[in-house]
């Protein structure tokens, strides 16, 4: 197909996707997070929930399980996670009855080629995140029309206008953010009211949990994400895209 025709088709797809997203946002504008979750799973054909099984992940996982326990859940095992996270993933999956948890890892050949000694993070944290998390996840998402995230408006200024549904630039997928309008206390209240298990590291001073080598405890008064890549100019692992490009340090979405 000639390039101009390909570009025309991509433009049509983008326009149709934008129209669908606008309709969904208008429909669910004054609805609850659970309504958004239910509507997304009903309206979007191939939809996955991406979960780190971190400090607050159990909220979305519970909502998805209430609607459909067979909802695809993509869990990226970077092979550098805390043992507590791996155990928590098993505990939560079993307790909620999640029947379609897919553990995503980088190909062994890629690890052997690019990070055989596990030291890539010491010279290039972005490259390590790309190798072990971002690229494997993007491969896994290739067969889906959309994915569910736990992003919230309060997390940063650039998320202040976050909608329930949005078009992910450069991928042709829809991103669903059921908790977009939630405040920190909403998360805590939901977990308490539904008697959901906490990640064991939260009680040890880890309000935000990533890979073990790049996550440290947070002191009282510090930003909850202060323990992620401490003392480095980096805030995101890069799983979110802006204009078709992976988010880099300092470009939180």
Residue 235, judged by CB atoms within 10 A of its CB (0-12, 13-18, 19+), counts as: middle
Inter-residue contact 233 to 249 (CB < 8 Å): yes
Query: What angle do the packed helices 57-67 and 184-193 form, to 10 degrees?
Result: 50
128 is catalytic: no
**Per the residue annotation, which of 128, 129, 214, 237 is the catalytic one?**
237
Residues annotated as catalytic are: 237
């Amino acid at each position: 197909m000639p390039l101009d025709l390909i570009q025309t088709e991509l433009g049509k797809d983008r326009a149709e996707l934008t129209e669908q997203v606008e309709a969904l946002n208008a429909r669910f504008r004054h609805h609850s997070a659970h309504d958004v979750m239910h509507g997304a799973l009903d309206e979007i054909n191939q939809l996955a929930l991406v979960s780190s099984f971190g400090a607050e992940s159990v909220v979305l996982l519970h909502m998805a399980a209430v609607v459909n326990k067979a909802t695809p859940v993509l869990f990226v095992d970077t092979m550098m996670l805390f043992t507590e996270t791996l155990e928590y993933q098993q505990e939560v999956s079993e307790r909620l009855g999640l029947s379609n948890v897919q553990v995503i890892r980088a190909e062994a050949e890629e690890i052997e080629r690019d990070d055989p000694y596990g030291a890539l993070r010491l010279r290039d944290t972005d490259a390590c995140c790309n190798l072990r998390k971002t690229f494997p996840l993007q491969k896994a998402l290739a067969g889906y029309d959309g994915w569910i995230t736990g992003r919230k408006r309060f997390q940063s200024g650039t998320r202040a206008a976050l909608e329930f549904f949005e078009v992910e630039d450069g991928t042709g997928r829809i991103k669903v953010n059921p908790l977009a309008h939630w405040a920190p206390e909403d998360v805590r209240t939901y977990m308490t009211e539904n008697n959901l298990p906490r990640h064991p590291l939260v009680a040890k001073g880890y309000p935000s949990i990533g890979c073990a080598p790049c996550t440290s405890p947070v002191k009282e008064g510090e930003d909850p994400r202060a323990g992620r890549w401490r003392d480095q100019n980096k805030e995101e692992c890069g799983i979110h895209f802006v204009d078709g490009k992976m988010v880099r340090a300092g470009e939180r979405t």
